Amino acid sequence: MPVLVMKFGGTSVATLDRIKRAAKRVSREVANGNDVIVVVSAMSGETNKLVGYVNETSPMFDAREYDAIVSSGENVTAGLMALTLQEMDIPARSWQGWQVPLKTSSAHGAARIDDIPTTNINDKFGEGMKVAVVAGFQGLSNEGRITTLGRGGSDTTAVAFAAAFDAIRCDIYTDVDGVYTTDPRITDKARKLEKVSFEEMLELASLGAKVLQTRSVELAMRFKVKLRVLSSFEEYDPNAGTLICAEEDIVENNAVSGVAASRDEAKMTLVSVADRPGIAAAIFGPLAEGGVNVDMIIQNISEEGRTDMTFSCPVDQVARAEAALAAAKERGDVNFEALVSDKNVAKISLVGIGMRSQSGVAAKMFKTLSDEGINIKVIATSEIKVSVLVDRKYTELAVQALHDAFELEKA
């Protein structure tokens, strides 16, 4: 039998009624002749509650016990889903991570998946089980301890199962009905995309689109797992949602597929740094060791052997960056006159695989922003992306203007 993977997020299983609604979708796929692997998240709000219990009990907690506690929410949902399906006369069984077993690294709280043996679940499919309900977000380390994959890890669990079982597709059910050209809360002209390439989705996810976890998209691209994002609250439609697939499966590539905005950005500038070989390594090495996620980087023209170095990072990592650079300066690894932080910026990005073959996207973007009186602070480009930093107060204006300029409301 072909295998289909269906993943239901926290809002899709937040109540018993919603679990029943999700179970009806599963039953439809069973009726279509599929063996189904259902991956479930904890009920909405449950993981946050469990994390709160941990922090209240032990602020300097043991990471192994943290994983044992916060992974329990998914176990409850998996059992409830299996019971609901059984009440519908569908042979179903719940599976916790250790029962599969989903083998992971020992990095508690941020484990990586090493292997998913298929024997146990396939044997049960052979015995007549039609649905395996798997608790997402969790696995088993070599030491035999429960691990978790990081917040949003159920998406990664689902894609990993789809790859391991050579599934025909992985359907991600959430509270949105697909991937849009931009955030519909910013402009009502945002249009749902029928198809998005893996590379575009990876960029959109990393730029702040909350539809999918970045790691899950990376995994899908690596193993060519077709993903479909769709809403668990819409009526059944076999063509619903957005398909995330290989570039060759998309007939026509527009220059720009979407506009992404991230408000949680900061711009940091090292003033008057010595312009010498190795200076970049001396700056960004300590930042990496300090766990700072550096994104955009720009170096000014050198004058009299000195230069300014600007980079962006998440706004909640500014203090960490300041501490890492202050320590590097104290050690004598790098010298600078001042470190200037600007926490009131936003990153606006255009994404599209069509940029590879169509010119003029960046120029049009810059002119559009200029016409709106929006000053660009930093620019970064890749093969399928152009990103700029602007004052945060212009976020909505910039997104709306670019969405209109590239006519993204049109199919």
Query: pLDDT digit string (tens) for 128-156?
Result: 999 999 999 999 999 999 999 988 899 99
The Cα 352–Cα 360 span in angstroms is 13
Q: For position 210, what pLDDT does the model report?
A: 65
Pick the CATH number of 3-175 from 3.40.50.1110, 3.40.1160.10, 3.40.640.10, 3.30.470.10: 3.40.1160.10
Positive/negative CA dihedral, 24, 26, 29, 34 = negative
The Cα 361–Cα 372 span in angstroms is 17
The domains of the chain are located at 3-175, 259-405
Binding residues for ATP are 7-10, 174-175, 180, 185, 210-211
Binding residues for substrate are 47, 74
Give 171-204 as a DSSP string.
EEEESSSS-BSS-TTT-TT--B-SEEEHHHHHHH
Domain 259-405 has CATH 3.30.2130.10: yes
Tens of pLDDT, residues 202-214: 888 777 566 787 8
State whether residue 346 is helix, strand or coil.
strand
Give 90-126 as a DSSP string.
--EEEE-GGGTT-EE-S-TTS--EEE---HHHHHHHH
State whether residue 159 is helix, strand or coil.
helix
Binding residues are 7-10, 47, 74, 174-175, 180, 185, 210-211
Q: For position 203, what pLDDT does the model report?
A: 84
**pTM for this prediction:** 0.83
pLDDT digit of tens for each residue in the chain (411 aa)? 899 999 999 999 999 999 999 999 999 999 999 999 999 999 999 999 999 999 999 988 999 999 999 999 999 999 999 999 999 999 999 999 999 999 999 999 999 999 999 999 999 999 999 999 999 999 999 999 999 998 889 999 999 999 999 999 999 998 888 889 998 889 999 999 999 999 998 888 777 566 787 889 999 999 999 999 999 888 878 778 999 988 888 766 778 999 999 888 999 999 999 888 898 999 999 999 998 999 899 888 777 789 999 999 999 999 999 999 999 999 989 999 999 999 999 999 999 988 888 889 999 999 999 999 999 999 988 889 999 999 999 999 999 999 999 999 987
Long-range Cβ contacts of 67-70 (<8 Å, 24+ apart) = 67/108, 67/109, 67/138, 67/145, 67/146, 67/147, 67/148, 68/145, 68/146, 70/148
Q: For position 264, what pLDDT does the model report?
A: 87
| Residue appearing with tokens 């976890």 | 213
Neighbours of 76 (CB within 10 A): 16
